[in-house]
Amino acid sequence: MSRTKVMLCANTSWYLWNFRRSLIQHLRARGYEVVLVSPDLKYANRFLSEGFQVFQFPLSNRGVNPIMELHSLVRLFFLYRRIRPRVALHFTIKPVAYGSFCARLLDTTVINTVTGLGTAFLSGNLLRRVATILLRVSTKKANYFIFQNEDDKALFEEIQVTKKSESTITFGAGIDLETFQYSPKSDLGKFKFLFLGRLISDKGIRDLVEAARSLRKIDDDFVVSLVGTIDITNRSAISHNELASWIDDGLVEYQPHVHDVRPLIKESDCVVLPSYREGLARCLIEAAAIGRPVIASDVPGCREIVVDKCNGLLCRPRDPADLMAKMLDMKAFSEEERKKMGRFGRELVEEKFGEEAVNEIYLDTIKDCLSGARFSVR
């Protein structure tokens, strides 16, 4: 008897390896045949060594050229027709839109995960309207949506992409609590604020630098460490020259993307993410799991993780002055107060963000959609 084929499609193989590997293994352990699709093959050998099939299709994550986008859509359709999955799990916005459109032409059950809305929805202009229309059309016959925060879910209902009965919420991709173990830190050396993420304006990176500039006028006993790539394909990316000027001015330290963030989190005193919107901020969950207090914007995807004054501090988005004040407050806390915040954060992660619970939600959703319990064509 053949096994049910489940395909996972995302905008990078890095995303599948780092955020969905547990789910992939979980599905195979439950008897599903798992196939992986992404625009790149950077992590293909890792998946191949574990016995998974990996396929590639061309996709520009930030591209808007109609001809290139149509080319990507056609190539993806032929790939779907070749693979013939019974269930397609799509992650990130473009795979959700394009994958859903391809799957609707085949006998494929579609479960879309909205991991964040990106620059198109933050801009609030013509690009957002185009993205909304594209999602309405392409996902018209999607069976189910999974969101990572209530605000994104409500927005998709408001713009009539999905309905309440056709969606649910998970707390991100889940986190391996054994991999990210609690590790309290003692105060040694300069206070270190750590930023983990792409160096784009939408993450509030310029606000963080401005806050650091203002804070240095009051207290210079701290370091701001930026860890992440300059995403030149993103419309809100900072430039290499801009980053170089921050380093030259002594405002930040910098290192490119790393595969294992745990040592960096353990060396930090506080993780900072002044983002304008997230699906669910993975770096905040990882920081809380290890036991670090956090500072984050009071926006969707951050406020779900930060309980203000319990495991961190919430600041006003797009407000460098308020961010600076919160950084000063965090420095002023005693070591024991920060450790208390760290312990609260760890308990919060154990309660809400473990990967086993998230994986079971996906498994139940797949079973229900296949049985017709959650099947609905709008």
| Cα–Cα dist 216/330, whole Å | 15
Residues 265, 282: contact at Cβ < 8 Å? no
Q: What does the block give as tokens for 77?
A: 């359709």
Strand partners, 53: 35
Render pLDDT for 289-335 as a digit per residue (tens, 0 to 9).
Answer: 999 999 999 999 999 999 999 999 999 999 999 999 999 999 999 99
pLDDT in the model for residue 121: 66
Residues 113, 89: contact at Cβ < 8 Å? yes
| Cα–Cα dist 340/18, whole Å | 29
CATH classification (class only), 5-174+354-371: alpha beta
Render pLDDT for 108-160 as a digit per residue (tens, 0 to 9).
Answer: 999 999 988 766 666 667 767 777 887 888 888 788 999 998 999 998 898 88
| Cα–Cα dist 109/142, whole Å | 7
| Cα–Cα dist 75/324, whole Å | 48
- CATH architecture, range 191-352: 3-Layer(aba) Sandwich (3.40)
Give the residue ranges of the chain where pLDDT is below 50.
375-378
pLDDT in the model for residue 378: 38
Q: Where in the chain is the domain with CATH 3.40.50.2000?
A: 5-174+354-371, 191-352
Residues 192, 267: contact at Cβ < 8 Å? yes
Does the model's pTM come out above 0.75? yes
CA dist 313 to 80, 88, 254, 285, 320, Å?
45, 38, 24, 14, 14
